[in-house]
Amino acid sequence: MSTPILGQPLNRIEGRLKVTGRANYAADNRYDRLAHAYGVLSPIAAGTIVRLDAVGAENAPGVLAVLHHRNIPRLHRCPDEMDEGLKAAEERTPLEDDTIYYAGQFVAIVVAETFEQARWAAHLVRAEYQAKPHALSLDEGVKQNGRMPRDDEKAERGDVERALASARMRVDETYVTPVEVHNAMELHSTIARWEGGRLIVDDSTQWVYGQPRSLAHVLGIPVDCVEVHAPFIGGGFGSKLFLWPHAVLAAVAARHVQRPVKFALPRPFHFCTAGHRPVTRQRIQLGATPDGVLAAIRHHSETHTSLVTDYVESCGEATPALYHCDHIKVTHDLIRVNVGTPTSMRAPGACPGLFALECALDELAIKLQADPAELRLKNLPPINEDTKLPWSSIHFGDCIRTATARFGWERRTAAVGSMREGREILGWGFAAATWPAHRSLASAKVELRVDGSAKVSCGTQDIGTGTYTVLAQVVSELTRLPFERIEVAIGDSRLPRGPISGGSLATASLVPAVAEATRRAWQKLPATFREQRLALPEALRAAGRDSVVGEATTEPGDERENFAFRSFGAHCVEVRWDPGITKLRVSRIVSAFDVGRIINRKTATSQIEGALVMGIGMALMEEAVYDGRTGRVVNDNLADYHVPVHADTPAMDVTFLDRPDPHIGDFGARGLGEIGITGTAAAIANAVYHASGKRIRDLPITIEKLLG
Ligand code: MOS
């Protein structure tokens, strides 16, 4: 038998197409008579459109149409029913009325023969506004709109107030994270075209199953009249999960001008009308015994949302499950402000949540004069104490021991600024990582062919994570057909229902469906040929078949009632701080994860490395800055909104424990797209404190803050 194909660091099967420019992303498609859309965005953050004059734009060269609140056809708000494939990122339909809720809201779109003509004409649309006071910060939002306590974000056990009052050692600090913007390399892009009554859409979406359903609902047409194609997606990070206004507007415009319409959002639009991670302000109170046993955790979060959608960044989601602790209380207030609608961004909730919690634990370790990694090891969760369920499998302690051993953590000296190399001061920081292990319904079809090839089809998508490759590996593993002979068809809503590429659940959902479909295809062969243990092509030939097809739909079962599914990890970070020239950089990250079985070591490692780099951005660079007067994002481009580049990227050492989860499904793979960014910013902030003695509790950790 050949070596197992699962786990191997195989190259992406679509990699060659990507590096040679032959992979067609949504905006790359060309159609006859393709028209182009551009948006007119509100320059004010709150108020009313009192006058809108589109005549100048309508008469500009090449303009085909200008759509605004007075002439857009009636649209229907999309319900939030994820199981049905329905969810719009913004509840309000685009151009719904004359009310302005945030700067950057669409007030009109122009459709023209060329992109340049559409953009020029957009500047000719004359709109007058009646502005009213807006709220941008959490405090202004509370004053204007009050607080919305979220019962669905609450968790409580024991008596946290009493436990805090009687604890010998305490920490009580508040941590703030700013607005971060996904900034996937591929712009949000939609090309919509109508053929007869059918709407065909090329889209950059993380959910080819959901997008046609949401679109059909908003447009008021039958769902089987809509198809969505997304063979390649250049990153999403949560911003491309749900339906945004530009996709609706492209479809409406295409119907209106009866031509294909392309709407590729310019980069600045992404900062107001395609989602962001909201501001979070989190108060963490910890109580502990002098020998480092956690006695109480109180976690209160405030996060913002827009005036048109209640998006909750679940900062406290992981808190009740991460450590053993008898007294815990988690609460959350949502606050409305006049900014574009926030949405899921890589590890929503846990990512800012663990920044707060894991920094607070570092502060506790310092008070206790305890080693921060040892402090975590002392408080490992034997079961999920929130749900009272046993873990399906847990190797959290081994993650901590692996990361610290590979990093050389035992050489750390605790005193601030005590580790020097020349002019540089080394800071070594630790933090834990965690993310729930979700799984959803998935369907797949597998065709095994007599020529020794196979095809696997599923209406999921690859957002750059390795989904194509993983599906081919599963079929190859089970059939022993060569990996190179497995064709993968995804990124098309006409294929069997596939999972969303979000919540780190695609692989865990797809692997069981593809495995079952493969087995069913195999079982289509008469038993005699299967029992002869012939290789697949010979078996098909002997049975006189050209091919056999298996289809399967799998979903999580009652294992979810018996076990808690969660992944864990640990980060050790080294920063170098040169106070002489005020230079700070991350020089080394060593991380270890327990994410179940690894299907492809290369794509898995790439996922984690990408998340670590994104964590560096979160810790040191990323912040969308709003102009207090207008509510517009000042740094709405990649020159002013800083993300890490290669020069900012340190040596990274990623280890997977690679122990299959025995209960999650075939092969025991959990997801890993998000866990890498959880805890990363905390580990960096903790390292910065160790180097500089500056405890920065509001991200990003800029040089100004270190000088302050
Ligand atoms: Mo992820 S934020 O679920 O794409």
Q: Is the pLDDT of residue 260 over 50?
A: yes
Distance CA 623, CA 20 (A): 34
Distance CA 414, CA 370 (A): 9
Greatest Cα pair distance in the chain = 80
- In the reported structure, the alpha carbon of residue 674 is separated from the centroid of ligand 1 by a whole-number distance in angstroms of 7
What string of H, E and C letters represents the secondary structure of 294-354? Answer: EEEEEEEEEEEECCCCCCCCCCCCCHHHHCCCCCEEEEEEEEECCCCCCCCCCCCCHHHHH
- Is there an atom of ligand 1 within 6 Å of 345 CB? yes
- In the reported structure, the alpha carbon of residue 175 is separated from the centroid of ligand 1 by a whole-number distance in angstroms of 23
pLDDT tens readout for residues 162-217 = 999 999 999 999 999 999 999 999 999 999 999 999 999 999 999 999 999 999 99
| Structure confidence at residue 506 as a pLDDT band (50, 70, 90) | very high
pLDDT tens readout for residues 63-84 = 999 999 999 999 999 999 999 9
Question: Alpha helix (H) ranges present in 599-679?
Answer: 601-620
Residue pair 101/305 in contact by the 8 Å Cβ criterion: no
Choosing from 82, 241, 467 the residue with most ligand 1 atoms within 8 A of its CB, the one to mutate for a pocket test is 241
Distance between alpha carbon 294 and the CA centroid of its chain, in Å?
A: 31
Average pLDDT, stretch 633-650?
A: 97
- In the reported structure, the alpha carbon of residue 249 is separated from the centroid of ligand 1 by a whole-number distance in angstroms of 24
| Structure confidence at residue 489 as a pLDDT band (50, 70, 90) | very high
How confident is the model at residue 528, as a pLDDT? Answer: 83
- Is there an atom of ligand 1 within 6 Å of 678 CB? no
Q: What does 389-403 look like in DSSP terms, one character per residue? A: BPBS---HHHHHHHH
Please name the residue whose Cα sits nearest to atom 3 of ligand 1: 502
Q: Is the pLDDT of residue 677 over 60?
A: yes
Q: What are the residues whose beta carbons fall under 8 Å from the beta carbon of 408, sequence distance 6 or more? A: none
Q: How many CA atoms lie within 13 A of 699 on its CB side?
A: 36
- Is there an atom of ligand 1 within 6 Å of 241 CB? yes
- Is there an atom of ligand 1 within 6 Å of 499 CB? no
Compute CA distances 333 → 125, 151, 313, 606, whole Å: 39, 9, 10, 35
pTM, full prediction = 0.98
At 147, list the tokens.
């607080």
Distance CA 283, CA 298 (A): 8
Average pLDDT, stretch 111-122?
A: 98
- In the reported structure, the alpha carbon of residue 505 is separated from the centroid of ligand 1 by a whole-number distance in angstroms of 9
**3-class secondary-structure state, position 214:** helix
How confident is the model at residue 526, as a pLDDT? Answer: 86
Average pLDDT, stretch 432-443?
A: 98
Which percentage of the chain shows pLDDT scores above 90?
97
How confident is the model at residue 601, as a pLDDT? Answer: 97
- In the reported structure, the alpha carbon of residue 503 is separated from the centroid of ligand 1 by a whole-number distance in angstroms of 5
- Is there an atom of ligand 1 within 6 Å of 502 CB? yes
Q: Which of 284, 341, 277 is nearest to 309 (CA)?
A: 341
- Is there an atom of ligand 1 within 6 Å of 346 CB? yes
Active site residue 674: yes
Q: What does 148-180 look like in DSSP terms, one character per residue? A: EE-GGG-EEES-HHHHHHH-SEEEEEEEEE--B
Indicate which atom in ligand 1 lies nearest the CA of residue 344. Answer: 2
Selected residue with higher pLDDT from 527 and 346: 346
Q: Which of 653, 651, 654 is nearest to 672 (CA)?
A: 654
Residue pair 547/705 in contact by the 8 Å Cβ criterion: no
Q: Is the pLDDT of residue 2 over 90?
A: no
- The distance in angstroms from the start CA to the end CA of the chain is 64
How confident is the model at residue 3, as a pLDDT? Answer: 65
Q: What is the mean pLDDT of the chain?
A: 97
Q: What angle do CA 564, 570, 571 make, to 5 degrees?
A: 150
How confident is the model at residue 389, as a pLDDT? Answer: 98
pLDDT tens readout for residues 443-461 = 999 999 999 999 999 999 9
pLDDT tens readout for residues 540-596 = 999 999 999 999 999 999 999 999 999 999 999 999 999 999 999 999 999 999 999
* 168 CB neighbour count, 10 Å cutoff: 11
How confident is the model at residue 527, as a pLDDT? Answer: 85
Indicate which atom in ligand 1 lies nearest the CA of residue 238. Answer: 4
* 172 CB neighbour count, 10 Å cutoff: 13
Distance CA 122, CA 129 (A): 16
Choosing from 82, 205, 344, 440 the residue with most ligand 1 atoms within 8 A of its CB, the one to mutate for a pocket test is 344
Residue pair 564/391 in contact by the 8 Å Cβ criterion: yes
Distance CA 647, CA 606 (A): 17
Task: Tell me which H or E stretch contains 575.
Answer: strand 566-578
Question: 147: burial class by Cβ within 10 Å (0-12, 13-18, 19+)?
Answer: middle
- In the reported structure, the alpha carbon of residue 370 is separated from the centroid of ligand 1 by a whole-number distance in angstroms of 35
How confident is the model at residue 1, as a pLDDT? Answer: 43
